[in-house]
Amino acid sequence: MSETDFDVVVVGAGPAGSCAALSLAKAGHSVLLVERGPFAGSKNMYGGVVYPRILDALIPNWWEEAPIQRWVTRRQTMVMTPTQSLTIDYRSDTWAKPPYNGATAYRPDFDFWLAGKAEAAGAQLICSTTVTGLLRDGHGRTIGVRTDRPDGDITARLVIACDGVNSFLAKEAGLYRRDVDANSFTLGVKETIALPTDVINERFGVRGREGADIEIIGCTGDVNGGGFIYTNLDTIGVGVVLKLSKLGAQRQRPEEIIANLKAHPSVAPLVEGGEVKEYSAHLIPEAGYDMIPTLAGDGLLIAGDAAGLCLAAGIWLEGVNFALASGMYAGDAAADALRSDDTSAAGLAGYRQRLERTFVLKDHAKLRHIPHLVLGDRLQQEYPQMVANIVERMFRVDNPRPKPGIRRILTQERRHAGIRWRDLAKDTWTAMRGFG
């Protein structure tokens, strides 16, 4: 085999790319990590919470050094209508202590730190360099990347594309499914809003490094999606995710939908007086298992958002952990393939096997119908109102009338909301199959 510049080129220094590079560097391989932004993390934004448990395998005691804003100790799920809201609020002391659970962090900090770990392990990081395409031999096998630097071709025995949700490399290699379109993505928009630390602590009922994470359904009007609010040390993140196919059709702009969320009587007291410090936007692959592309080609692996690995399952909204894990397993599988000197798609099959054995594809397979349910019209446009009305009637004291039975309220409110038994049963079955 002819000499290559590196054993592996990893494209994109987000969580997937940095974990892939870290894993390979630890195994003693020469790795180049290429990032198009001026620093790792500079192109990245997210819905605010990272669950870094999987990092235990790569960076023991990562929590002692990771640039975390707050540890999530309050996890709330809110069902909202324009005038009502119902919140399930869970709080845990355990999550405020090592080894922790979820954390808020700024991606430009977190991703920068993680890329530094890959560098420290021996990977070479080059920033401000956009990969413009794959280098391929006459058989279509990937043998490196083309960059926008002068003389910017870089050869490698293997390329790992962690180039994000728009992965031009996976598209170029023909790994994407044909049926992936605007229905498979949501647009996330977010305001980072400055508030004094003690005001945040008071409003969200947290102290010290404890933080809150609120996920909301029913707050995005006619555009199917969801909302979120979470706490950093001296800012809060407030945003919405919006189904792309609905966004274009409903003639409502993203920033208007955030403004409506902020004006909601349950949200306004949390955000008022804050100053918008940064506005941001990013696409999210939300179709789950049904959009996951072919994960390996000859000389090529894809991981993270590039592989569609975001979990949008309503009560579970995760992406960074799937990126960390898929990147790490891609690195491990690549190391195996390099050792046996077979980096063909067949030689790289260990990657998919690793994902199938672990939460990465197990969660996605089990929850494959949930993203469609959560972003579907009934759950978005009909159920929140029905649920809020049921709760309103349960807690309303209508004396001198006696209390209505709950069964009667449920029956009446279902009818009132115009939801057919058949659909309700179908959705309940889908939910039970996925979550059960």
Check residue 37 for interaction with other proteins (CB under 8 A).
yes
Which of 63, 279, 359, 435 is in the footprint of other proteins by CB under 8 A?
279
Task: Give residues with Cβ within 8 angstroms of 396, minimum separation 6.
Answer: none
Q: Which of residues 215-254 bind other proteins (CB under 8 A)?
A: 221, 232, 235, 244-245, 247-254
Closest distance of CB 146 from other proteins, Å:
12
Check residue 176 for interaction with other proteins (CB under 8 A).
no
> Is the Cβ–Cβ distance between 37 and 311 less than 8 Å?
no
Instruction: Kindly tell me which of 276 and 391 has the beta carbon lying closer to other proteins.
Output: 276
Residue 126: phi and psi, rounded to 5, are -125, 125
How far is CA 435 from each of CA 53, 86, 315, rounded to the nearest angstrom?
Answer: 21, 21, 9
Which of 107, 117, 352, 354 is in the footprint of other proteins by CB under 8 A?
107
Closest distance of CB 182 from other proteins, Å:
5
Listed residue (126, 163, 119) closest to 22, CA to CA: 119
Q: How many CB atoms lie within 10 A of CB 417?
A: 18
How far is CA 317 from each of CA 51, 128, 241, rounded to the nearest angstrom?
Answer: 10, 30, 11
Instruction: Kindly tell me which of 77 and 232 has the beta carbon lying closer to other proteins.
Output: 232
What is the C-alpha separation between 128 and 245, in angstroms, rounded?
32
Instruction: Kindly tell me which of 88 and 263 has the beta carbon lying closer to other proteins.
Output: 263
Instruction: Kindly tell me which of 95 and 185 has the beta carbon lying closer to other proteins.
Output: 185
The SS3 assignment for 327 reads: helix
> Is the Cβ–Cβ distance between 194 and 275 less than 8 Å?
yes
Q: Which of residues 248-267 bind other proteins (CB under 8 A)?
A: 248-256, 258-260, 262-264
Closest distance of CB 162 from other proteins, Å:
14
Size of the site for other proteins (CB under 8 A): 60
Query: 350-357 and 359-366 are packed helices; what angle lies between their axes, rounded to 10 degrees?
Result: 60
**Contacts with other proteins, 348-387, as mask; x by CB under 8 A:** ----------------------------------------
HSE-up of residue 413 (Cα within 13 Å, Cβ side): 20
Check residue 112 for interaction with other proteins (CB under 8 A).
no
Question: CA dihedral defined by 421, 423, 427, 433, rounded to 10 degrees?
Answer: 80
Instruction: Kindly tell me which of 126 and 394 has the beta carbon lying closer to other proteins.
Output: 126
- Binding positions for other proteins, rule: CB under 8 A: 36-38, 41-46, 82, 106-108, 127-130, 132, 147-149, 165-166, 168, 181-182, 185, 187, 189-190, 192, 221, 232, 235, 244-245, 247-256, 258-260, 262-264, 276-283
